[in-house]
Structure 1
């Protein structure tokens, strides 16, 4: 067996094979945000070209997040039927197809491409944390690397879409379409390293059931609520931050760069917090740290968006990067097995992302209604209260009762 494949157990895998697995995880993670985040920097050009309203344009970032929620529960079942590795590879194929659809002129294909890309990312969102839990004896640091890679991908989508498209003479459609290359590279890397995972398949008849029954437990509900409310913050601000800053007098060319900066500094928090979380019996101090940075960032954007803008963006970036990484890590830490992690991730991301999907649309609607960004930002600040409640419960030293047979994913 080729030593870069994952058939070996975590304890016996060579250093080279471990590095190869980490590279594959990073390659997939880098693709899980650009297709969504890259829309925000081109929203003005997109609206000017298509005539879409702010609310309808906001749906272009809402549709993928809705798909994150709608398709998340199917990911564990898909992995059990075709293999976890094959399911991740399929997600990359679908992602490439979704990005390609947005290259064509009819407006409806913008939404169709966003739908397909969102469904693809939903599969990887659920299965990569389960893959990490299965492949590594200490998943905390690897979850940090995974989460940081999500932020780096988001930063690249926000900061590079417009400059690279401009340098290459591409339209806003070409700017969105250029991320197809990254998806195809990740597919090749994943197939070379992970293959199809035949060694881990258990046959089509062994399908885990009762994932939704996990929500009978308060701990599972709190993990779900924390993930959802944290994601509301990220996707709402990611969709509208460049426009918000432009309305505050910040040059349009800097809006996407500042959004990228938020994701870059977020990658630092995403890398650090899961490693810390894995060493702590309770992660409640980390929940408070995330809350503090959110309050600083959102409060500054509300009160003085055109003054000390970089400070507010940096604070929000740290909050969203570390907060989302903590949410994903809590799914892993609160799960006793990889299968439980996939099941809990499926239901948590289903409900959490369905809640988060309302963020960009509601913020766009409130902006259209009030003509400003004060009320949308005030709403995000109020939502920190239930988020801290959910995080406090989700961070306690406990695991959910899996109620499942001990079979591999």
Structure 2
């Protein structure tokens, strides 16, 4: 008989041979491909449900408020999980944590498609937890492994998120027709995304590295929470998230009530996702070179406001207004995320501000879909909801004039809401 020690030696030899490094030319390409596949999973699994909300409401007997929770639950998971993602990555490694994110997304999609209403909600929450890990850790991976290409790759993965979300929105209704209105099969198809991404990511599991130092950390009482500038940045991001996720949740229903077919509404929902991604290609390379970002933030907010008012007043031109809103909201997201680093005076402070802005911002975003759904149930139309969201864009524009100033949170003024010029 072969000795136990010999067997162990053979096993170690096999494992070592299978985990040998890839050729240097192939390793970055495979890593970038894996990053883009992970990015494709960070929007589509929950934004792709929006075109089906009417079908789900009718089949499951839900109110608009209850259906809105299918978009709210992932956002609540973002608020709860995001600040702790860095700690998970430090404990288990960045690459393994991103793999775990894909596993959570896949498991959530499978459970969400199981049939029962409670499965629908629980699966959606699990998907949100997985996406939250990816949202925080993927930029950290880029900063660490591609410091000289961060802007380019951030633009690429932002575009990939938008394209993935757009495709999921566009194909939702045609797939529902193909599957005889069986929406569970439609949302179940999305499991292909995390499965393929996880398989491509497997070679990275041999590594176990920590996230970048400025990755979002758990929010805590401290300097940033007492800073007026930090609150201006946080509320700018939070209000934009509120308005954006209201649009993501209810745009197909708004368009359907305005006379558009379900197929057309789903396609226009896809246009929104693409329009949101476009500013990442144009704005990221130049935002850090601006003297300040006040006018950029103001204009982006006003463009969003024009899109919402246009949708309210002239819905026949929905394509134009949706592009306006998507470009404005996408630019505001880029600017808001840039503010987190530009307004901070150190990487530690940037991490604290990131945790604060994500926690508060996602909580505001999570409140949007059910509140608007309840407002619709009470009024029977979308007029008040669109008007309120447009007004919030105006408030956001004013906050952008403050958050976009060339200032940073003072490290010497703990306990006072002050800032000083760079």
Question: Given the two structures, how large is their TM-score scaled by the length of structure 1?
Answer: 0.86
Say whether the 8 Å CA contact 2:173–2:262 is kept in structure 1.
no
SS across alignment from 1:375 = helix
- For 1:201 and 1:264, how far apart are their aligned partners in 2? 29
- The match for 2:311 among 301, 308, 320 is 301
- For 1:83 and 1:330, how far apart are their aligned partners in 2? 28
Deviating more after overlay: 156-165 vs 173-182 = 156-165
CA gap of 1:153–1:209, structure 2 versus 1, over 3 A, is closer
In the TM superposition, residue 150 of structure 1 has moved relative to its aligned partner by 2.2
- For 1:366 and 1:272, how far apart are their aligned partners in 2? 36
- For 1:281 and 1:81, how far apart are their aligned partners in 2? 39
Deviating more after overlay: 47-56 vs 284-293 = 284-293
- For 1:220 and 1:197, how far apart are their aligned partners in 2? 35
- For 2:350 and 2:202, how far apart are their aligned partners in 1? 23
- The match for 1:156 among 150, 154, 167 is 167
SS across alignment from 1:279 = coil
CA gap of 1:340–1:266, structure 2 versus 1, over 3 A, is same
Q: Which residue of 1 aligns with 2:21?
A: 2
Deviating more after overlay: 332-341 vs 318-327 = 332-341
Q: Which residue of 2 aligns with 1:10?
A: none
RMSD over equivalenced CA pairs, Å = 2.7
CA gap of 1:111–1:78, structure 2 versus 1, over 3 A, is same
- For 1:235 and 1:26, how far apart are their aligned partners in 2? 23
- For 1:66 and 1:381, how far apart are their aligned partners in 2? 23
In the TM superposition, residue 255 of structure 1 has moved relative to its aligned partner by 0.6
Q: Which residue of 2 aligns with 1:347?
A: 356
Q: Which residue of 1 aligns with 2:302?
A: 292
Structure possessing the higher radius of gyration over alpha carbons: 2
- After superposition, give the CA deviation of every residue in 1:288-346 in whole Å (9 maximum; x if it has no partner): 331232022101011121x2121111111212222223323333444567665554333
**Structure 1 position 182 matched with structure 2 position 201:** no
Q: Which residue of 1 aligns with 2:108?
A: 98
- For 2:407 and 2:25, how far apart are their aligned partners in 1? 32
**Structure 1 position 357 matched with structure 2 position 376:** no
CA gap of 1:363–1:402, structure 2 versus 1, over 3 A, is same
CA gap of 1:360–1:210, structure 2 versus 1, over 3 A, is closer
Could you tell me which runs of 5 or more consecutive residues in structure 2 were left unpaired when the two chains were aligned: 1-19, 413-422
Q: Which residue of 1 aligns with 2:56?
A: 46
- The match for 2:386 among 374, 377, 385 is 377
- For 2:314 and 2:275, how far apart are their aligned partners in 1? 21
**Structure 1 position 279 matched with structure 2 position 289:** yes
- After superposition, give the CA deviation of every residue in 1:48-71 in whole Å (9 maximum; x if it has no partner): 111011111111111111111121
In the TM superposition, residue 256 of structure 1 has moved relative to its aligned partner by 0.8
Q: Which residue of 2 aligns with 1:9?
A: none
Say whether the 8 Å CA contact 1:129–1:332 is kept in structure 2.
no
**Structure 1 position 173 matched with structure 2 position 184:** yes
Say whether the 8 Å CA contact 2:241–2:362 is kept in structure 1.
yes
**Structure 1 position 393 matched with structure 2 position 402:** yes
Deviating more after overlay: 36-45 vs 327-336 = 327-336
**Structure 1 position 69 matched with structure 2 position 79:** yes
In the TM superposition, residue 386 of structure 1 has moved relative to its aligned partner by 2.9
* Equivalent residue pairs, number: 388
Q: Which residue of 2 aligns with 1:112?
A: 122
Say whether the 8 Å CA contact 1:127–1:342 is kept in structure 2.
no
Say whether the 8 Å CA contact 2:302–2:394 is kept in structure 1.
no
Say whether the 8 Å CA contact 1:95–1:117 is kept in structure 2.
yes
Say whether the 8 Å CA contact 1:143–1:325 is kept in structure 2.
no
Say whether the 8 Å CA contact 1:129–1:341 is kept in structure 2.
no
- For 1:241 and 1:358, how far apart are their aligned partners in 2? 16
- After superposition, give the CA deviation of every residue in 1:140-163 in whole Å (9 maximum; x if it has no partner): 333222322222222122112222
CA gap of 1:191–1:399, structure 2 versus 1, over 3 A, is farther
- For 1:89 and 1:173, how far apart are their aligned partners in 2? 25
Q: Which residue of 1 aligns with 2:375?
A: 366
